[in-house]
Structure 1
C-alpha cells in the first residue's frame, strides 16, 4: 500500500478537492440533524459521536499504534484547539447553513479559511513552515474574498420557510432554550 505522503501533488490536491466537496453535505446534514434533535448542540454531539464511530474501526483496520499520550501531554495548549474549532464549525454550520444556504455558508467558510491560512503560513504559526504572503498569494486570497462577496450579493433573498418539496420545514432551533 502506498503511503499517503508519497502520493503526487496532483493526487493530494484531488484528495483535498474530494474532502472539500463533502463539506457542504456535512453542513446540510448537520442542519437537518439540529432540527430533528431540537437543539443545535445535540446535533453537534451526534455528529462528533458518528465521527468517533466511523474512525474507530478505521484505526483498528489500519492497526494504528496506540496514541503517545505522554508526548501529546507535552504539546502547547494551541495543539488542542482542533477539537474546539470542530465544535464551533459544526455548530455554526448547522445554525447558518439553513439561513444562508449551502453555497453562501461554504464560500464564507472558504474565505475565512484562506485569510487565516495566509497568516498562518506567513508567520509559520502552529509549527508550520513559513511561506511568505507574496503579492500573488495575497491577490489570490483577495480574489476568493471578492468571490465570496459576489456569491452573497447575487443570492436572492428567500423567505425563511421556503424549502424544496419534501424537505423538512421545521425552523432551526435557536441556541437559547
Structure 2
C-alpha cells in the first residue's frame, strides 16, 4: 500500500512537471511539433527502458481488444489539449481542472463498468469527493481573482 501511495504521488509530481515542460516546448515550436517531440522522446525512452527491464518479453503482446491500441492517439489529444489549456489558464488552474475531470470520468467509467473495467457500485461519498475538489478549484480561482483586483486598486 505504501509503495502504491508513493508511486501515485511521484506520478502526480511528474505529470505536473511534464506539463510545464511541454508548455515551454509549445511556446518555442508550436503545439503539433511539441506534441510530436514529447511523445517521440517518450516512445524512445519507453522502448529503451522496456528492453532493459523486460527484454524480449516487451513484445509479447497478448490478445488485446482493438481499441486499446489507440491509447497513443488519445495521448496526442492529452498532450495537445493540456498544453493549450496551460497556455490559456496557467499551469495550476489547468492541471487542477484536468485532474478533477480525470477523477470524475474515472468514477464514471468505474460506475458503468465500461472500457473493460469491473463495475463498481455507486457510493454517495464518491460524488461528494469530486464535488469537494471542484469546490476547491472554484475557491482557488476566486481567491486569485480577488488578489488581482486588490493589487490593481493599489496601483
TM-score normalised by L of structure 1: 0.75
Retained in 2: the 8 A contact 1:119–1:133? Answer: no
Q: What is the RMSD of the two structures over their aligned residues, measured on CA atoms?
A: 1.9
Give the secondary structure class of the aligned counterpart of 1:128. Answer: coil
Gaps of 5+ in 1: 1-8, 159-177
Match of 1:123 among 90, 112, 119: 112
1:1-177 equivalences in 2 (<5 Å): 9-37=1-29, 39-64=30-55, 65-69=57-61, 71-72=63-64, 75-77=65-67, 79-156=68-145
Change (3 A) 1:66 1:15: closer
Q: Determine the C-alpha separation between the residues in 1 that align with 2:62 and 2:8.
A: 31
Change (3 A) 1:70 1:24: closer
Q: Which is bigger in relative contact order (C-alpha 8 A, separation at least 6)? A: 1
Cα distance, 1:57 vs. partner?
1.5
Change (3 A) 1:139 1:48: same
Query: Which structure shows the bigger proportion of residues in helix conformation?
Result: 2
Give the secondary structure class of the aligned counterpart of 2:122. Answer: coil
Change (3 A) 1:35 1:113: same
Give the secondary structure class of the aligned counterpart of 2:115. Answer: helix
Q: Determine the C-alpha separation between the residues in 1 that align with 2:100 and 2:28.
A: 30
TM-score normalised by L of structure 2: 0.84
Residues paired across the two proteins, number: 146
